[in-house]
Amino acid sequence: MRTQVAIIGAGPSGLLLGQLLTRAGIANVILERHTPEYVLGRIRAGVLEQGAVAMLDEAGVGARLHAEGLVHGGIEILWAGTRHRVDLNGLTGGKNVIVYGQTEVTKDLMDARRASGATSVYEAEEVSVHGFDGTKPVVRYRHGGAAHELECDFIAGCDGFHGVCRQSVPTRAIRTYERVYPFGWLGLLSETPPVSHELIYVSHERGFALCSMRSHTRSRYYLQCSLDDKVEDWSDERFWEELGKRLDARAVADLVTGPSIEKSIAPLRSFVAEPLRFGRLFLAGDAGHIVPPTGAKGLNLAASDVRYLYDGLAEYYRKGATAGLDAYSERALRRIWKAERFSWWMTNLLHRFPENGPFGEKMQLAELDYLFSSKAALTALAENYVGLPY
């Protein structure tokens, strides 16, 4: 089998790239090692920057997002027992974010790909990439008990942090940067109305918390927890009780509790690989970088990667020019590092770091006090939260 672009991974970045390429008449095949049900079952965040929303519109999958997504013009930060609002819309000249779950984004993209008739191979086993340092890349895999070979012009590695694409790059050709945080996020999803119409970020002596949502009737809550904790150690009752201890009195009064639909613990890390291009292999999304979820940048960074990569591929097939592909890594990394900085800053601002001691706690309080006494500081937060320009 032959195609123009082989895409490894059917997460949001791979599906979005595939949808854009298909609409541009550029042949592509997506290979995914899991089932569609498994991919849809992964619970992820869902705060979308306007740039990501515009790309989903360009891909023709924005209708349900605009019908069901929740437009947010601000966030709240709770510290020292008081909530403080960050007016995202007012501070950025009218920009907002939209809350729309990553699962829903993935479903919309899957439905669009199915309708387009473009090829997706799920449960592709033993995927390997070859020849990307030359002019004739090949992807080999097994499916249905048989060996297959996919010839292509380019390979897009959208297969996540643990995927095969980055691991296939010679170690001498790549450099990685990583910060592993000494705690995790315990997340609970419930069929309950959100405690507030906007997200509440909580800095508390017991640890960070986040009150988020997926819709008007489905809520997502997070607690900072130890990396030694196990999900089974946290009953629903214990979770709700601990969340209440970190919230203000008004939020506790408004909080509607209920049985969890899903509960999980996620470690936090900052990670970047450089470069993101290796001959005819390009890394995008989590294959090239990870951010802690505090700044809501994971899915949005994947979208900006796809923006730059799609533009480069479209230029190549329309004009035979390689300038966009040649500039892909540098352009993407400039935006990635700015998002990494913001996510790192938000994480350090709001979480408890045991190793930092009382001095570190005082520094956090001073930073929060300064933040809400300075319009310039609030504007910087708002500009980064709604998304820096592509």
What's the token pair of residue 134?
A: 């030359």
Q: Which residues neighbour 93 within 8 Å (Cβ) at sequence distance 6 or greater?
A: none
Q: In angstroms, rounded to a whole number, what is the distance separating the alpha carbons of residues 262 and 187?
A: 8
Catalytic residue (choose from 141, 181, 201, 222): 201
Query: What is d(CA 8, CA 128) in angstroms, rounded to the nearest whole number?
Result: 10
Residue 317: active-site member: no
Q: What gap in Å lies between CA 144 and CA 124, rounded to an integer?
A: 8
Which one of 12, 95, 293, 316 is the catalytic residue? 293
Is 198:76 a contact under the CB 8 Å cutoff?
Answer: yes
385 among known catalytic residues:
yes
d(C-alpha 80, C-alpha 83), whole Å = 8
Query: Token pair for residue 161?
Result: 């942090």
Annotation says 297 is catalytic:
yes
> How far apart are alpha carbons 139 and 48 in whole angstroms?
32
The verdict on whether 38 is a catalytic residue reads no
User: Which is the catalytic residue, given 72, 95, 289, 351?
Assistant: 72
Q: Which of 95, 204, 289, 297 is catalytic?
A: 297
Is 198 strand, coil or helix? coil
Residue 222 annotated among the catalytic residues of the structure:
no
- For the chain, the straight-line distance linking the first and the last C-alpha, in angstroms and rounded, comes to 35
**Annotated active-site positions, please?**
72, 201, 293, 297, 385
